Structures are given as structure tokens and as C-alpha cells.
Amino acid sequence: MKKIIGISFLLVFVLSSMTIAQEKRIPAKGLAVYEAGGGFKPYEFTRHAIGDDDILIETMYASICHSDLHHTHQDWGTEIYPMVPGHEIVGKVVKVGKNVTKFKVGDYAGVGCMVNSCGECDYCKAGLEQYCKKVMMTYHGKDWAHGNEITQGGYSNNIVVKDRFAVLVPKNADMKKVAPLLCAGITTYSPLRQSHIKKGDNVAIAGFGGLGHMAVKYAVALGAKVTVFDITEDKRAEAAKMGAIKYVNVNNESELKGMDDSFDFILSTIPAMYNPSMYLKMTKFKGDFAIVGLPAFNNQPTFKVMDFVFCAGRNVYGSQIGGMKETQEMLDYSVTNNIYPEVEIIKANADTVTQAYKNVLAGKVKFRYVIDMSTLK
């Protein structure tokens, strides 16, 4: 009898513990796609409990990055659905774990493309967490710290994240425009800093979209003479307004003449098929050609080996967002110097976001859609 009572007590204890653990999970709701290329629908789910080193952020704004389209369309490999995209997030801290000192309730916080890493590898120790082999993506990733549950992103009313993977947003920041800085901002700021762009440098920005227009703003702020390359006439006036000294429509061959060996630094933000060798030839001897644009796997541009041989002395490198320390630096620099993206605010409505995706795909947005998550119902 005692044995039976003991087993019963143990069973009740285990079930009670499971219930308490389940209650600690954070209810969430958002907008998700349920299949590759599908439209958005409402989605309710839960996030893992707030750990000792975590913060709970009430999402204010989340912006639409072209990478979100690539993921929802499975352009970069097999994905897991339902998927709540969004890796450009800003919101208010509403709860903190007991070990958190970086944030307090009421602070504003930003979250970008990653929410965890191993913290021990050479990349992590160098402040380059984005290259860690165990880096955890904000959405469409497996959360190895919480039973491999699938991470869900910022098109939602909240997010739980380790404090070291959130950046502190100054309270005087323009919150409606902050979210795109967490990807478009750091993705372009980082290579400009890596190549030590300075006053008087001749800089070219290839692709004048969500990333490209941020690159132009940063390069101009650093004192560079900026030329913009794009495939349409629609943005010529916008480029001049942002401080570019020249705009080149690559579909007009006459505008491309005499441009070889012209630039100290070229940044390609192009997310589609293009000719990278053309830009390599435009790079000066000892100049840098940095690539941040990521086209779909089935639409990848290629270099010819001979172009590297006959364009010797140029540095070609790829860059992926930035580490957390540099991301905080970028955000502080942007707010201090009033450098923000051009945005269009839209409601957190499934049909509205679905249409926004279609517009991005068709190149009909200038330059970033930002979703007002307070309108989510």
C-alpha cells in the first residue's frame, strides 16, 4: 500500500511540475506562412519560458527584409512551416531574468538575425557570433537550448531572447524606423567599417533597395563620394536626395562606359542574378569589392576564374550582418547621426502583409515596409 501511495504521489508531483513548466511558456500570436510561397494567416503559439539571462520584449515594429521572402519561398533550401518571419525587430522590455543587468523593464530593445550562439568558439570570442557554427537564427531555426523547438520571428506580439543578443535602443530613437537597422543597417555598416571608408573615397553601391539605400546613407555620412547602380530610372532622384553624386542605370550601356578602375570600394547588395565581374573590373587596384546580397540558390551569379587573374590586386570578400558589439555600435551611430531607413508603415494584417510581399518581389517598395505590430488582432 505504501508503495502504491508513493508512486501516486510521485506521479502527481511529475504531472504538477509539467503543468507549471507549461504555464511558464509565453503565449504568443503572430502572422505565419503555412507553405512555401503561401500567403499569411494568423498563428497562435508559445515561446519558451523566460530564463535567468533572457528578456521578454513586447514587439512594437517588425520590418520586411528581402531575406524573409527568400525563406518563405524556400529559395535557400528546405524550410519548416508554419513560419513566423521577421528578423528586424524593436520593442519594449516587459520582463527580465534574474541575471539580466543590461536591460530593465521599460527599456527599448532591438533584435536582429540571431538569438543565440555557442559563446565559446573563435568567432564568438572575436565578437563575430554570426559565423558561429551553432548560431541560432531568429526564425526558421532549431533552438538547441530548448529541445530543438523551431524559432519564430518578429511578425508577432512578443519575443523571448537572451539579453546578449538584444541591443539597447536609445529612448530618443525614432522607433518606427529602428527595426530595419537590425539587418539592413548592420549588413551595410559592417563592410563599410571593415574597409575603413573615409572622406573622399570613391564608393559604389550596387543595388538601391532596402540594403542599398542604407549603404548610401552611411557612406555619405562617412564623407565618401557615392555612385549608385540600379536597374531602373525610378530611384534616380531618391539617390541624389540621399547624397549620391552619380546614378547609373546598368540597363543603359552608355552610362557604364569608362568606369573600370574607378572605385576604392564597391558594395553589392543585389539579391538577384547579375554580373559581379563587371563590378570587380570597376574596383581600383588595392580596392575592395564586398558582397552582402544573397540571391536564391537557383539564381546565383558566378565569377569567372580568369577575371580574378586579370583583376589581380583587388580584395573580394563577403560579409554577413555583424556581431552583437558592432550592431550596438551601428545603432548608436545611426541614432546619434539621425541615419534611418526610408519606411512605409503597414498594419499587421495577414492580407496587407501578403500584398507587401508581392510588392517587394515586384520591386514596388521604397525602401522598407515596417509592420506596426500594435495593430495585430
Domain architecture of the chain: domains with CATH: 25-182+323-375 (3.90.180.10), 184-318 (3.40.50.720)
- Tens digit of pLDDT for each residue in 3-44? 544 544 444 444 444 434 445 999 999 999 999 999 999 999
Instruction: Using the predicted structure, report yes or no on whether residue 134 has a pLDDT greater than 70.
Output: yes
Q: Per-residue pLDDT averaged across 295-317, rounded?
A: 89
pLDDT at residue number 23: 52
How far is residue 183 CA from its own chain's centroid? 3
pLDDT at 276 over 80: yes
* Neighbour count for residue 159 (Cβ, 10 Å): 29
Residue 313 has pLDDT above 80, yes or no: yes
* pLDDT, averaged across the chain: 93
pLDDT for the residue numbered 14? 43
Task: Average the pLDDT over 255-276 and give the result.
Answer: 95
How many whole angstroms from its chain centre is CA 13? 44
